[in-house]
A = this chain, B = another copy of it.
């Protein structure tokens, strides 16, 4: 007798959870963000509103969780940057790929929604940093540490600063739509960063 826990409702729960996430993502991608409503999510997921509010306290939390889960699934456990030994080539590869990601309309809408939520909620912002930003940063910093040991990067460089200088311009250009995210732009960011922090 499983008197410890109730019977196995976890599968049912998990199914509706995934349905809610899928519906949320679909709506964020295809509708104007302000039209993404809890009622629309529930209808599309084929669940009752109460099932959503039973698990998350607000619409923001649902959207955030859906996007967070997306990245967690995608990443799996293995977040690692390429390491061919050629720092410049590796970084340009990664930066070009990042620029392309941002150029994808679906990705654009998803990340824009995510940024909207975390820009106005310090608690969500902290959770975002903890669960998404930090692991990615650690992976990037691991690659940079290797470069420092190989003498391709200043040994005393502040790696947080290096990452800021490398990524923030791309992010800002995307967020403010102040220019196209071309491969050339990605390359020039890598070049500038490497000049700033060369040994």
Contact = CB atoms under 8 A, between A and B. Distances in A.
Main secondary structure of the interface of A (DSSP, over half): helix
Interface string A96-125: 000000000000000010011011101001
A142 interface: no
A154 B126 CA distance: 39
Contacts of A195: 195-197
Interface of A: 33-34, 112, 115-116, 118-120, 122, 125-126, 128-129, 133, 158, 160-161, 164-165, 167-169, 171-173, 175-179, 185, 188-189, 192-193, 195-197
8 contacts: A161-B169, A161-B192, A165-B169, A165-B192, A167-B172, A171-B172, A195-B196, A195-B197
Contacts of A161: 169, 185, 188-189, 192
Of A116, A118, A179, A196, the most chain B CB neighbours within 10 A belong to A196
